Structure formats: structure tokens, C-alpha cells
Structure 1
Amino acid sequence: MKIAILDDYQRTVRSLADWDRLPPGSELQVFHEHIADRERLVAALEPFDVLVIMRERTPFPAELIARLPNLRLLVTTGTRNLAIDLEACKARGIAVCGTAIGGTPTAELAWGLILALAKRIPMEDRALRAGSWQTGLTTTLTGKRLGVVGLGKLGAQVARVGLAFSMDVVAWSQNLTDARAAEVGVRRVDKPELFATSDVVTLHLVLGERSRGTVGAAEIGAMKSTAWFINTARAGLVDESALVEALAHRRIAGAGLDVFSVEPLPPDHPLRALDNTVLTPHLGYVTQENYAVFYREALEDILAWVAGAPVRVLS
């Protein structure tokens, strides 16, 4: 059995699970670099029976699945992966299994981005190292309005931290009710009010057909010139071109972004050139604790499948 693990950017996979438990004769190969080119990807993956993939880093559409004749098991970290064509896997008889994902590290990162912007942490760090001292004024969050788009598990966690900072926290999503907002301790408002009045807008929706493009040019255009936009959810929720244009022309104060329309972010992407952004490379789920669960359970998935009793089956 030939097994490949993809996109091990941090080179941690081999230390996070006891891969010696694989059946005798198994061959394990770990790919550290992301393979974006489709033909190179097909050539690299064609020999393998089992693939372990990290979240949505490498998409698996039907066209790719059809070109991997040896593939019999696909394991994704996490419980949901919209980048896998599950129907194509089912048609080919390829089992798809997942793993648990724990805690709310993405909510923590959202607050890291908010504080980095409000307290000018990256800017002042760079200036201090270059020999300067106190190059600008920071902002107090107390009394400011935090607009939370999506009040599920992560959005609620972000909202509660906003309340701890004595912020005025409001929320909106397509299905949000007054009762749910009150349960979290915030107030539901309509979408136009949230974008027009918030000092910080933070996005916490699941990407789907209904939510794709939730934040377009109109929403971004309605924001205050002093407001910050935070996205640790999915890039497809936002019109990225409209966001870049607003940032470049200082129509909003800045943005903290962990997700992008193309990942890894290309070297020539315009966001890299903007000085009013704080950018992180999709770190929301990238924690020691999550990775330990991901790869331990990925190994369990493989062993259970070999034994004929697959676990955590997604398709």
C-alpha cells in the first residue's frame, strides 16, 4: 500500500502520529511543497492508494479524481472539505474519511488580527527595528462597534471577547434571530446597518452557495473610512477585487486577512503591496493541538479502512 501525505508545510507530520503502525510493507511519502500545477500533481499522486490531505489546500475535483486510477482512500483533516467532489469519489468507489477538529483557534486568530490593526503592532514593530519610536496613534476598542457577520460557534466566541472589551457588539446573518443574538448577549441588526456603522467588521460564515459573495462592493463601500475588515473564514465570501480597491484608495482603514482567493498567496498579489493590511497564511486552524488530532485520527482512519471497518466516513 502506497500512502502520500500532502502539503506538510511545517514538516511536522512524521512527528505527530505513530506511522510505524501502518501495515508491513506500506510506503509512506510526505510532500512538503504545495503542487499547484495540475499535470505535475497528477504525475506525483498517480501511484498512491491512499492520500491524506490537509483541509482544502489541494482541491480534488472530479477531473483530478478521474486521473488517479490507484486511489482507494482519501482522508481529509477536519469534518468538512468543500474542495473534494464527494460524488465523484463515490462513483469511483473511493472511500472518504475525515478527522475531528477542536476548539476555536480561528476565533483567537480573528482577535489577533483585530488587535494587530488597532494597536498597530506589525507597523510599530517594523518601525522600532528600523530605528524609529512611536510613529502613529493606536485606537481604543472600548465603546467601538464590532459587527459580527455569522453568529455560529466561532462568531459567538469573537462576539463574547468584544463584549469583554466593552464594545458595542451587533450581528447579522441570513438566518440569525433576535433570540440567538440575545443568547450570545449581542443585538441583531440588518446587513446594511452592520456594514455602515461598525468600526470593525469580522466574518464568520461557512462558505456555500447562499453565502458566496456575501460581502461585495456595496457592503465594502458602505463601511466607514475608519473601519477595519477581518476575514478568517473563507475568501469566497468576499469580492476580493473590491476589497483590494477599497484598501488601495483608503476607503476603509485596513484589513486583517487569513484567507485568500488563491492559496498560497502569489508573490505578485496586490494585497502584499498594501501597508494597511495584516496578512497571515491561513493560520486559523494551524495549531499544535489541531495537528496532533488531525494526523493521529488520519492514521486511525487508514488502519480502520485496511481492517474493513472505516470510521469517520464522509462518503
Structure 2
Amino acid sequence: MSHSSPAATAPVAAPQVQSIDELKQIAAQVRRDIVRMVHAVNSGHPGGSLGCTDLLVALYFKVMKHQPAPFDMDGRDQDLFFLSNGHISPVFYSVLARSGYFPVSELGTFRKLNSRLQGHPATEEGLPGVRVASGSLGQGLSVALGAAQAKKLNQDERTVFVLMGDGELEEGQIWEAAMYAAHHKVDNLIGIVDRNGQQIDGSTDQIGGLGDLRAKFEAFGWKVIEGDGNQFETLLPALEEAQALTRQGQPVMLLMDTQMGFGVDYMMGSHKWHGVAPNDEQLEKALQQLEVERNSDY
């Protein structure tokens, strides 16, 4: 990664939220952003984005040490996050904007001509917070491994996080990377699998048959934690446990159980909302379910 040039503005510290109630409010606002973004252009991936909202909110507003501005591609002395399943870009963009990486108003340009907010995150547009193009499934774990090893070479004590979809685990490169991580003792890495049991054509059990993921990752030499990814009360302790297990000679994997479409009742648990935008009536119904104390829609 190349170093970015110094910015004239003063550094902007990452937000730190202590209250679970406040995290829930932020998550509700992010979910509002998601459904409005995909509705506006009648394209995008709301299901997985809604399911992973609580995780990204927890990471960016509570768990990770990071500096939104000036944005540094290297992320020296910062925790890094890589999104491997890049199709859930709506949640990624919303969380980046609301944690200070770029103006919230830019969310209104999602998937539009000449927008920096492409359907899948890309680096050529220079969007702060995005360190790698993603969406070609199976590559994120390998990228995160490289970043984690770079931190070790730089004697950087911070942690690298990477999120993958469970359907994405059908890609062979994931397992090559998993083998490499354990063999090389990349123990400053926390992998996270969004285990929602759904992929574009149906359930993961019907399409690919993932089997016992805990046993598989343990057999590859990883430490494994399982937890509920849609409840902050259980998600935060799971992330804390994962952090406590780093730097003990093994990479760490969090198998995070979520519901696709979480927060919007007619989307929950259905693969049909993997890549379908709500219509006008469905949007209004979703927004009614995602009420927030202080509405800050862009």
C-alpha cells in the first residue's frame, strides 16, 4: 500500500459509543440508509447489508481503533477492516459515512453515474475507508492476511478484521488462505463469517452444503468463536473474546449467526432479498419499522 499525502485538516478521531441503546439507534439509521439507497436506484443488495449492520456498527463505533480523516491507506497503528463480500456495499458505505470518512449526503449518489459509491467497493475513485476493491468473491481473506503480515513486519500491534459471506466459502481461495494463515501463525487477524444460511439461489444447505464450519476451521488450525450477530448484547462479548484470543499463535474466526434482511420483517430470512430493491410501498413499510429518535436521513 502506498502512503497518502498529508492532509491540511486536523485528524478526525473515530467515534466511540459506549451505550448499547445508542448503538441500536445508529444501526436503525444505517438500515434506513440501506433501504433508501437501493430503492433510489432500484438496484443493490439489501438482504445481506441489513443482516450485517450490527457487526459493522459495532466495529466502527465501538471496537476498532481507526482514524477517519485524514484517511491513510496504510492504516498504521489503526485496526483495519476488509469487506470480502463486496456486494453488501450499502451497509459499508453507510457506516463509513456516519463514522466520518466522507459526507453522509454522498450516500444519495449510490450506484449513480460517476459516483464514488459503486455497486461494489472500488479503489480507483479514492473513496476514504475503502482499501481494496471487493466483490469478486473469495479474495478478501487473502488480502487481509497480507495486511496482517505487513503489520507484523512494521511492529504494528493493531488487528485486521475481514468479513466474508457463508455462501462465499464455496470459493476454494478461502480455504487456501485459511491453511496459509494457520501455517504462518497470522494471529493478529480476526475473520468473520456472516452465517445467514442464504445465498442468491437459495439456502446454503441446498446449494453448496457447508457442513460443520466450526470443525472445518478448527481442523485448518483456527481458533473459533460462535455468536449471534444481530444482538449487540451477544455480539460485543463475542468480538471481545475474539480480540482476547489474538496473538496466541493462531488466527481467529468468528462464525456470526445473522438473519438476512434483519430489521425489516418481510425481508428477514429470505434469499429473495439478496439483490432486490424494495418498491415505493415496501420502502415506506421498512422505514416505519426502522424508526429512530433523531432522524438524520441524508
> When the two structures are superposed, what TM-score results if normalisation uses the length of structure 2?
0.37
Structure with the largest fraction of helix = 2
Q: Which has the larger Rg?
A: 1
> When the two structures are superposed, what TM-score results if normalisation uses the length of structure 1?
0.36
